[in-house]
Amino acid sequence: METLHPFDSGIALVPAGPDLMVGRTLPEWANMVGPFGGITAATLVHAIQMHPDCHGRPVALTVNFAAPIADGAFDVGLRAARTNRSNQHWILELTQDGETKTTATAVFGVRRETWSGTEAVPPDVPTPKGPTGSGFPPPIVWTENYQMSFVDGALPGVDAEPNTSSTTTLWMRDNPPRRLDFPALTAMCDLFYPRVFLRQGRALPAGTISLNIYFHADQDQLDAQGDDFLLGTAHANRFSRGYFDQTAEIWSRGGVLLATTQQIVYFKG
Amino acid sequence: METLHPFDSGIALVPAGPDLMVGRTLPEWANMVGPFGGITAATLVHAIQMHPDCHGRPVALTVNFAAPIADGAFDVGLRAARTNRSNQHWILELTQDGETKTTATAVFGVRRETWSGTEAVPPDVPTPKGPTGSGFPPPIVWTENYQMSFVDGALPGVDAEPNTSSTTTLWMRDNPPRRLDFPALTAMCDLFYPRVFLRQGRALPAGTISLNIYFHADQDQLDAQGDDFLLGTAHANRFSRGYFDQTAEIWSRGGVLLATTQQIVYFKG
């Protein structure tokens, strides 16, 4: 009997009708309340990829975390609202007992050769030294599914002081290592703990409300990555009246910008 | 008879049933193909604000431009998929004759006092010198509805050379000036012409596929702005195989970060 990688178990779906798939939360992917948002986002990408109408590869994704997903089964309703020659627009809704828990839209596209160039510059950092642990306390189960090697801005410890910068930079990959694909890249876009923890030097109530990802890599650039570490760097622009943003870049070790991502996070404190 | 400001005419909607409103394109807001994406995005924000279930103010918005909107009437279907105590999640779809032209999701929220801080730094620029014109050729009608004073990275002229930077920084406001509100701020997030024009020193086929906005300002911060110029700065991170991103910040003259925004743009060339 073959054993699935924990990530593949986490995003598993069973078609249950036209435009409907059924998934299930797993204890290995538990966050403080409900599952890790990254595994939910990855599951939605996977749902589109499994759909018979799927055309092209992920270009853009927005996932809105409307309410906590309860332990157990969930439905993913999805539909291609529009299919053009070179791209396709999806609308998705994750529900439990008819209650909306997550909404999403996605753009898939067919890529073709054009002029290209990368203007962003990867952080100048040492190569990964091997996993150092996430620093997350045991209730945050999902972090066990990642190897994280922090270069800068690790999770503040018990005696941490406030910081003037919200930047975290780390090497990261699945644990155990797994060949990179679009769902895995999606999940890693949500790997950065809330930036307000770093600024305040302590954990406080906070949760992602909406996550946006632009995929800059095509399939061959993900294939070239294999199961190597990715370099992620994230920072916030503004914290104000209960919300802040965080913006991140995901780089390959070789300096290919695989994705840019941003999210808006709710916080108290 | 009172005359509406062109922006208010542009976003006008008539309720046509529960969860349905009807709008109409206007020649004054025409872009190369279909209307300016910013006026469409603003119309969707306005639709939510007009809906009797609306709770709170805009926090996050994603608009996916699935197909060109034809001249004439359009339907906006919208529904609050989830209403929580402090936020609300909307799903919207703009259609013409039943065909999906635009999809969107939005998060509205009720803000409350918390710790706050702005980590981003506004560009160090001279105060606005008055409008200098957008530099857009006549077929791009909508640009007449804005005053633009470019500090850096104006639209390339006929003999322009390629640039190594994709950064544009400009002062901007409605033309004629109009008190800032959330729909107007939404539209201005889409005011930056495609970054690939600047990099290549020429116009080429390009169009926004998906636009994402995080609103950092509450109503009182928009009110404080009045009808003054806003400072916008935009740049791209990566151009690759038919797509590029552009990321922008919208600042008040007084240095308040009102919104951060990003979009993914399709291009040929």
Residue range B6-29, pLDDT digits in tens: 999 999 999 999 999 999 999 999
Q: Which residues of A are less than 8 Å from B239 in CB distance?
A: 114-119
The single-letter code of the amino acid at A131 is P
Percent of chain B with pLDDT over 70: 97
Write the DSSP assignment of chain A as a string of letters.
-PPPPHHHHHT--EEEETTEEEEE--GGGB-SSSB-HHHHHHHHHHHHHHSTT--SEEEEEEEEE-SPPPSSEEEEEEEEEEE-SSEEEEEEEEEETTEEEEEEEEEEE-------EE-S-----PPP-S-------TT-GGGGGEEEEEEE-PPP-TTPPP-S---EEEEEEESS-----HHHHHHHTT-SPPHHHHHHTS--SEEEEEEEEEE---HHHHHHHTT--EEEEEE-SEEETTEEEEEEEEEETTS-EEEEEEEEEEE--
User: pTM above 0.90?
Assistant: yes
- Cis peptide bond upstream of B123, omega within 30: no
* Cβ <8 Å between A209 and B100: no
CB A193 within 8 A of CB A155: yes
Q: Does A79 touch chain B (CB under 8 A)?
A: no
Mean pLDDT of chain B: 95
* pLDDT value for A267: 97
Residue ranges of B 147-166 with Cβ closer than 8 A to chain A: 165-166
Q: Which residues contact B136 (CB under 8 A, 6 or more apart)?
A: B143, B155, B193
Q: State chain A's mean pLDDT as an integer.
A: 95
pLDDT at residue A137 tops 90: no
pLDDT digits (tens, 9 = 90+) for B169-223: 999 999 999 999 999 999 999 999 999 999 999 999 999 999 999 999 999 999 9
Which residues, numbered 4 to 63 in chain A, qualify as contacts with chain B under a Cβ-Cβ cut-off of 8 Å? 59-60, 62
* ipTM score assigned to the predicted complex: 0.97
Mark yes or no for CB contact B236/A103 under 8 Å. no
> Considering chain A, what percentage of its residues have pLDDT values greater than 90?
91
Residue A109 Cα, gap to closest chain B Cα (Å): 9
Query: How large is the average pLDDT for residues A31-48?
Result: 96
Interface list for A 87-116 with B (CB within 8 A): 87, 89, 91, 93, 99-101, 103-105, 107, 109, 111-116
- pLDDT tens sequence across A180-219: 999 999 999 999 999 999 999 999 999 999 999 999 999 9
Mutate to test the interface with B, among A103, A110, A208 (most CBs of B within 10 A): A103
Q: So what's the pLDDT on residue B132?
A: 67
pLDDT classification of B140: cutoffs 50, 70, 90 = confident
